[in-house]
Structure 1
């Protein structure tokens, strides 16, 4: 998604390296804000854009204020040019995995008819729902082992139907623009 979004914003003028999953250096100490700042500081020399994730736990605005914003503010004290985007699903990221039936047909067989919720972001426990859908389809592997596949295969068009994903994509576009401005580009 990052490469496609960058290319749409800056056609022919962007290079996007592979994404890295990072966390605070071990042993992780301190409050979440300090751990976010430490993780970014640890990778500052090799990354130019950071995505900070927090589960929304049915109150994404509060999760943003309490789990993401303090970490961004703490980091900006040391790195004022920080380009960051928040990724805060309404409840959990697993809800975003429940939006595209094609991924389930890839996993469960082309004839599979997974019973996906009409509004995945309203699921009270998306992890439980994901596990149930996979189990009902005959999948015996734990859902956590399939997250990478979902991340690579879920349709962006399907994700764009979800309000929390729309907000994430808007923030990501803003972070890409910030990186471009720091490199002397204008949009």
Structure 2
């Protein structure tokens, strides 16, 4: 396994994600294994991190303050219209929040959108809470990605587990299955 220098942040252990399939959840490992597209799989970098400091504020203090602007969160939402519930994932920069009642509701054509319950998000995705990533999501889920994420040269995102993160070029998010890039998906937190 080849150690490398992470393109962002101060991580002691960075390696190409295809070399660390053993540390990824089964759906994430499967997605990395079958990766195709203009961004090669070896540009997906797995960095080993301490799960005790996975929350954003503590994480950036430990691994590098520049990471706040280069990190993204992936959250699972549930859109409801009548008796139909649609699960979707939304990826926004860490310093923003998802515009659930505006952009997401409109895009999903839902009457009401809320964050999916933790048991639903983890059970349906096969990932750990606090580590959900857009890589390896269920095939039928829409993936809404804020344009600011795609425009970021390198982005740190969850690895499917609370331990470890994945770094990949922002443009790679647009090539993920069911990805739709949307302007204004992430709005200022506050």
Report if TM-score (shorter chain) is over 0.5. Answer: no
TM-score by length of 1: 0.31
* Higher percent of residues as helix: 1
Q: Please tell me whether Structure 1 or Structure 2 has the larger radius of gyration of its CA atoms.
A: 1
TM-score by length of 2: 0.30
Q: Which has the higher contact order (CA 8 A, sep 6+)?
A: 2
